[in-house]
Amino acid sequence: MGMDLLKVKDQALSFMKPAKREVLRWFRGQYQVELKSDSSPVTIADRNAEEILRKKLSKHYPEHGIIGEEFGNQNPEAEWVWTIDPVDGTRSFIRGLPLFASMLALLHKGEPVLGIIDLPALGETAWAVKGKGAFLNGKPLKVSRQKKLKGAFVAVADWYCFKQEKHTSLFNKLNKEAGIVRTYPDAFGHLMAIRGTVDVMVDPLARIWDYAPCKILAQEAGGKFANFSGNRASIEEGTAIVGNENIVKEVRKIISK
């Protein structure tokens, strides 16, 4: 690829430090909440943190593209493209819940080769580099060894996501088949599956900046990333099943029936 991805990872982690400080500066503070065109909330923390990351990336990697949640695309057809989600779980952030994340990924020809999920309020940072493994605060990440959906611990996105995307039957079947189903929001739920705390995370509604870090982290943790269609594990489709390969395959079978 022509790049030392471990060195790039270290630099990316350094870029995230000032963005993290900016997010925490506003956490449980006073600020105005606005609604974007899709009715999702946005705050000054989202915008300021993304601006910090975009400036760092543009300065050090001017030939790279950027796809960010708050400020759109910059050279998205480039060979190397960064995805930015400055505050994943803005609703949690707004309510003072510490389950939000900051996410960064590097794509090479459309495929993630580096991913970072940072949980600022919890003091946890996970990263993965293609072929180098996945780690959380320096300790290796591994998905669970659960063999069957029956008895599995399943994390899901919010009910309204399943309803909005017409996947209520999937939600109901998961509740019927799994040992336990709980709603864990956004990147927090995906990371729980990647670290093996839950067996799988099922999410019917998100964007490329949400899924790019999850895919490389899941793969490097010995797990699997799949979308609902099954055509290709595309991070652009807007759906995701992340975690233990056995359980991911079972969930895919339920969807395909």
Return the CATH number at 169: 3.40.190.80
Range of the domain at 35: 5-133
Element (H, E) at 102: strand 101-108
Prediction pTM value: 0.96
Structure tokens at 32: 């105005």
147 part of a folded domain? no
* Cβ–Cβ under 8 Å, residues 206 and 162: no
- Which residues are within 8 A (CB) of 57 and not within 5 positions of it... i.e. 6 or more apart? 15, 64, 66, 82, 84
Residues in the chain: 257
Structure tokens at 121: 């309020």
> Where among 84, 104, 133 does a domain terminate?
133
Please give the Cα distance from 9 to 124 (Å, whole number). 16
Q: Which residue has the tokens 């975009």?
A: 54
Are 61 and 171 contained in the same domain?
no
Element (H, E) at 56: helix 44-60
Task: Per residue of the chain (257 residues), give pLDDT as tens.
Answer: 578 999 999 999 999 999 999 999 999 999 999 999 988 999 999 999 999 999 999 999 999 999 999 999 999 999 999 999 999 999 999 999 999 999 999 999 999 999 999 999 999 999 999 999 999 999 999 999 999 999 999 999 999 999 999 999 999 999 999 999 999 989 999 999 999 999 999 999 999 999 999 999 999 999 999 999 875 678 888 999 999 999 999 999 999 88
Are 207 and 243 contained in the same domain?
yes
Instruction: Report the number of distinct structural domains present in the chain.
Output: 2
140 part of a folded domain? no
Are 124 and 179 contained in the same domain?
no
